[in-house]
Chain A
Amino acid sequence: MMNKLNSKIILIIGMLIGLLACSEDLDLVSEGNSCPVVYCLLNPNDTVHYLRIAKSFQIFSNAMDSPPVSDSLIYDEDFYAYLVENDVNSGKEIFYFEPCDKTDRDSGFYHVENLGLLKVKCQIKTGTEYSVYIYSPELPKLIVGSTMVIPSFEILDPVYMPGREVTLLPDQGFDLRWIHNYKYAVYQPGVRIHYLEGDADFQVQKTVRLDLPEVFSYTEAATVVDYLNGANFYKGIIQQLSLPPPGKKRKLIGFDFEVCAGGEEMALLRQGERDENNPFSQIRSYTNFDGAQGIFSTRVFQTSHNNRFSDITENYLATSAETKQLGFLAHGEEF
């Protein structure tokens, strides 16, 4: 009986000591260590390839209101980086990156000064494995990444053929097709619409681009079928185009269909970022670098040019209640 009482007292004292020992001073906004962030996308159709290196930073307020300053993104030390081509037939070849002062960028949120940007001049071979190695005294370790360069692909539809036209109406879309021979990839399709704007004396050719939703592919040697929704096509044109200047009209010329393919690593990264409820949600910060965040992958572009719209499409754009304010001429009408 006495032993039981003693053990209870000891247990209570132990619990009290345990609770008092806890420190509630949690530092939720501690500075932490930054991590290298590297982006390198090889393009087999180009001869110059870029590597961007920065470091991660912490945000204490709404990031969109206060973009990070240059100093919080860049490393002070120089970088030494090289690309290794692992060709099974011709063996290994090394290409060294050099500093690049290129700062032109068509979009983006971050500053453009002091970008940690390097470039390498070489011809990338499709179906070949490439590795990138990055070293700097400031980095905790050597950064290494590998990727298999995806080959180009072929757009099957739309394809230019004399006399062939595309009809798009709110209830009539178009099946976009392309064929590839690699297993995992992500595609960013888009339509670039060309039109003339002006009056009877002078016209200027203009372009509007509509981005279509990303397409993910998980099968080898297959035709990828995507759908250009007619209703979304007109909605996109209405959103992108403002009213024409007074006295000016527009005339539809045609469209190019563009697809940018990203390799397996890009597919995994984008799939993870896209939807938290998908099976890839655990790889939101997917990276194929050892020692850094970011991505080392391939991107390939393909375009189908000179595709024509049918008279039905031109007339709908010119006369429908939703689009007639955009000032497009009907089929056969002149400026």
Chain B
Amino acid sequence: MSLFKYLPLVLVLLFTQCDPFDDLAGSEDPSIPEDYGYAEVEFILPDYKGIPKEGVHRVALSFSYTIDSLFRSEYFEKVNVSDHKALYRLVFPAGEYYWEAVITCSCGGDTCLNGGFPGGKFGMKYDFDEFLVVTGETTTIKTRFTY
């Protein structure tokens, strides 16, 4: 009888004691320094009409502090890109940055030219934009290559 009497109290204590997910919210990686955040780049290879998927390749993913340094190809960070990895996660101090992604086409004949790659085979296509890194948060970047 006494057990049932105290059961609600025990249950209340159990459920209010701790929230196992409380400390994890907003702190994705406890090892990163304060005032740092994440940039997550989804380096998507677009589908081009007439170009097989294996004919389009990631070439570069680079970061600059300013837009003019981006145009001068002065990067402070270059990611080692791969055709077998689409998601790249980086850690930066909170602030404003610029990213640039480059792709190329390796098909023979006029395939690349017809697909929109300037100069044809091994012609490059560029995409870039500004992004903001917020302390402890993740900024998601998606490449488009619409130019």
Q: Which residues of chain A have a CB within 8 Å of any CB of chain B?
A: 156-157, 159, 161-167, 172, 174-175, 177, 223, 310, 312
Contacts and interface: CB of A to CB of B under 8 A. Distances in A.
Contacts of A165: 60, 78
A102 B18 CA distance: 74
B59 interface: yes
Contacts of A166: 80
Contacts of A164: 57-60, 81
A167 B122 CA distance: 21
A172 B78 CA distance: 10
B35 interface: no
A223 B59 contact: no
Interface stretch (B21-29, B82-90, B131-139): B82-90
Nearest to A177: B84
A172 B59 CA distance: 18
Interface in B54-89: 57-60, 75, 77-85
Given A163-B60, A164-B59, A164-B60, A312 B78 contact: yes
B111 interface: no
A156 B84 contact: yes
B102 interface: yes
Given A175-B82, A177-B84, A223-B84, A161 B106 contact: yes
Interface of B: 57-60, 75, 77-85, 102, 104, 106, 122, 124
B32 to A, nearest CB: 13
Given A162-B104, A175-B85, 20 more contacts: A156-B83, A157-B82, A157-B84, A159-B83, A161-B57, A161-B59, A161-B106, A163-B60, A163-B104, A164-B57, A164-B58, A165-B60, A167-B79, A167-B80, A172-B80, A177-B84, A310-B78, A312-B75, A312-B77, A312-B78
Contacts of B124: 163
27 contacts: A156-B82, A156-B83, A157-B82, A157-B83, A159-B83, A161-B104, A161-B106, A162-B59, A162-B104, A163-B59, A163-B60, A163-B102, A163-B122, A163-B124, A164-B60, A164-B81, A165-B60, A165-B78, A166-B80, A167-B78, A167-B80, A172-B80, A175-B80, A177-B82, A223-B84, A312-B75, A312-B77
Contacts of B104: 161-163
Contacts of A177: 82, 84
Nearest to A164: B59
A161 B75 CA distance: 20
A179 B80 CA distance: 19
Interface core residue of B75, B81, B82, B85 (most chain A CB under 10 Å):
B82
Contacts of A175: 80, 82, 85
A288 B30 CA distance: 50
Contacts of A159: 83
A117 B106 CA distance: 46
Contacts of B58: 164
Interface core residue of B84, B104, B106 (most chain A CB under 10 Å):
B84
Contacts of B79: 167
Contacts of A162: 59, 104, 122
Contacts of B83: 156-157, 159
Contacts of A310: 78
B99 to A, nearest CB: 15
A177 B83 CA distance: 11
A21 B139 CA distance: 84
B11 to A, nearest CB: 47
A25 B77 CA distance: 72
A157 B82 CA distance: 7
Top 9 A-B pairs ranked by shortest CB distance? A163-B59, A167-B78, A162-B122, A157-B82, A174-B80, A164-B59, A310-B78, A161-B57, A156-B84
A172 B58 CA distance: 19
B40 to A, nearest CB: 17
A163 B58 CA distance: 10
A153 to B, nearest CB: 14
Contacts of B85: 175
A312 B74 CA distance: 10
Nearest to A230: B80
A310 B60 CA distance: 10
A55 to B, nearest CB: 48
A167 B90 CA distance: 14
